[in-house]
Chain A
């Protein structure tokens, strides 16, 4: 069974992020870049499925040259090879444009499953897996807390407020996994050294047959009109409990329309 895991390089979750005033895109130079933490679960799940079913695990990313570090990390965890879509024209792509690029790149690969993390920790939209599945015409199994594959059927469990949904589909299919699904492995030194020799293919927009107007800022359906820094946090109000604390809390919540 061949699996492709889509990963994204994002600013370190703990870093203070800034936007470039010129085009309202993320200022990548001012922060450390890491693999989207939620994608680590997707890589781990792919490796676990590979250990059980065989096949190859390919890592797919799009982004600037530096994003290749994220592929290398996934390879050091144990994936077999990487595909990196890198092109200046990608700059500023929103979720719709991103899904167009990933779907095209997936079209050049052979796979039974595509696995995503549920969202990226920078944009936090959670929509790319669904958009990619739609473009590919594949079933989408989202928010999986468990993935099982038997023959050509993939079954997932999805936690709901009341229990679990069990959802199944025929492969090829697109799956997104949540962080509860596993504990991602730490790259070992052996894995790190082996990753240096694993193949990574780079693709351009021309290789994928995509025009400059279909991706990047020009091809995006959404745009940032303006942005402002978050205002400094205001001091909270302190309610002194003089026997009427409960009433005061209820009044406060009612005032905020919480109750």
Chain B
């Protein structure tokens, strides 16, 4: 076994770090006022994120994981996970927009299953950072139980006509197109009756914006007789869930990598604070009540690191590590949240302020314990794999 990170991926990390320092950090610093405000200017924040996304796309970092023929660099899952980790660890919030995953607004590998002429229309503009997408699966009556979706698609000549209501759709209000999951055979449902479609912006309507504790703002989507040509099916009719599975393992490695990076950032900040802050005549770090929880956090971070890197490696080896993916999603989100919570405690009152470094990390990680397969769903998958 060779656990060293390959030289070329180290070089890629260095190149990305230079990009973040030189171009993203100044934009991020100019947003400090908005970050700290109770009533931030969301338009300004959105514009800044778009600026970062476009520049990262021009340089090639944004969609680095996609093959070269669609404008990517063909970077491995491990290489991409390392950039996602570094973007989260560096403390520059907008850096998390510079690599597309795990943001659902970025170019999904699902779109590689579209016919070539549609990749030009949908995939490549997102790779270039000129357009964005959204992933529309969840519905008011179908969250963790995704096969219970009610959105229906019916064939009408050379088209499909889709009716339904989605919600919690990240980037739903801004997306140029949506990947929509709809029932095409109510008898079969998850076993061959759910299909994934590409639906352009003019065929759906974004409803109410839903603000979350993590500062994200997903929205409702309404499809009222949305009409798309027959070639807008991703993969095969009825096999939408199977198409989605093809990128799920890598997606979970990226979420794990983001958790890892955020936990490292929180720990770096807490360690620096514990060493420099004096109370009762000595540095905080001289108290075991402060130092030991940070030591425990370090141990958990190393466990997260190797679970995550191993998952990414297994994906690159062509395996189908579904159990490992669930373990990473469960362990990394839960442990990173626990790490951030301990780190916030070290900051005391300052930890509660929006100006403090950790509170936004804690809120983001709280979200990740729920989205993209809640912790309990992962425990279900893991326990079933154990024969329980």
Q: Which positions in A face B, CB cutoff 8 Å?
A: 72-73, 76, 186-190, 192-193, 195-196
Contacts and interface: CB of A to CB of B under 8 A. Distances in A.
Interface residues on B, range: 10 to 19
A186 B68 CA distance: 18
Contact of A188 (B7, B18, B73, B79): B73
B75 A188 contact: no
| Residue of B7, B18, B19, B68 most packed against chain A (CB within 10 A) | B18
Contact of A192 (B15, B18, B19, B68): B15
A189 B74 contact: yes
B357 interface: no
A73 B11 contact: yes
Contact of A76 (B11, B68, B73, B74): B11
A187 B11 contact: yes
B73 A187 contact: no
A180 to B, nearest CB: 14
B78 to A, nearest CB: 13
B60 interface: yes
Contacts of A186: 15-16, 18-19, 59
- Chain A, interface SS category: helix
A188 B7 CA distance: 14
Nearest to A76: B11
A59 to B, nearest CB: 15
B75 A189 contact: yes
A195 to B, nearest CB: 8
Contacts of B368: none
Contacts of A196: 7-8
Contacts of B12: 187, 189, 192
B64 interface: yes
B8 A192 contact: yes
| Residue of A73, A189, A193 most packed against chain B (CB within 10 A) | A189
A225 to B, nearest CB: 35
Given A189-B64, A189-B73, A196-B7, 4 more contacts: A72-B11, A186-B59, A188-B15, A192-B8
B284 to A, nearest CB: 21
Interface string B72-87: 0111000100000000
A72 B7 CA distance: 11
A193 B7 CA distance: 10
A190 B11 CA distance: 11
Contacts of A189: 8, 12, 60, 64, 73-75, 79
Contacts of B79: 189
B241 to A, nearest CB: 32
A186 B98 CA distance: 14
A190 B73 contact: yes
A196 B15 CA distance: 15
11 contacts: A76-B11, A186-B15, A186-B59, A188-B15, A188-B60, A189-B60, A189-B64, A189-B75, A189-B79, A190-B68, A192-B8
A193 B68 CA distance: 13
A187 B12 CA distance: 7
A193 B8 contact: yes
A187 B74 CA distance: 15
A188 B59 contact: yes
Nearest to A40: B18
Contacts of B68: 190
| Residue of A73, A76, A187, A196 most packed against chain B (CB within 10 A) | A187
A193 B12 CA distance: 10
Contacts of A192: 8, 11-12, 15
Contacts of A72: 11
Contacts of B18: 186
Contacts of B64: 189
Nearest to B61: A186
A48 to B, nearest CB: 17
Interface in B14-56: 14-16, 18-19
Nearest to A196: B8
A249 to B, nearest CB: 30
Nearest to A185: B59
A190 B79 CA distance: 13
Nearest to A183: B22
Contacts of A187: 11-12, 14-15
Contacts of B75: 189
A79 to B, nearest CB: 14
B316 to A, nearest CB: 15
Nearest to B68: A190
Contacts of B60: 188-189
A193 B64 CA distance: 13
Contacts of B8: 189, 192-193, 196
Nearest to A77: B15
A160 to B, nearest CB: 27
Contacts of B16: 186
Contacts of A193: 8
A189 B83 CA distance: 12
A206 B286 CA distance: 55
Nearest to B17: A186
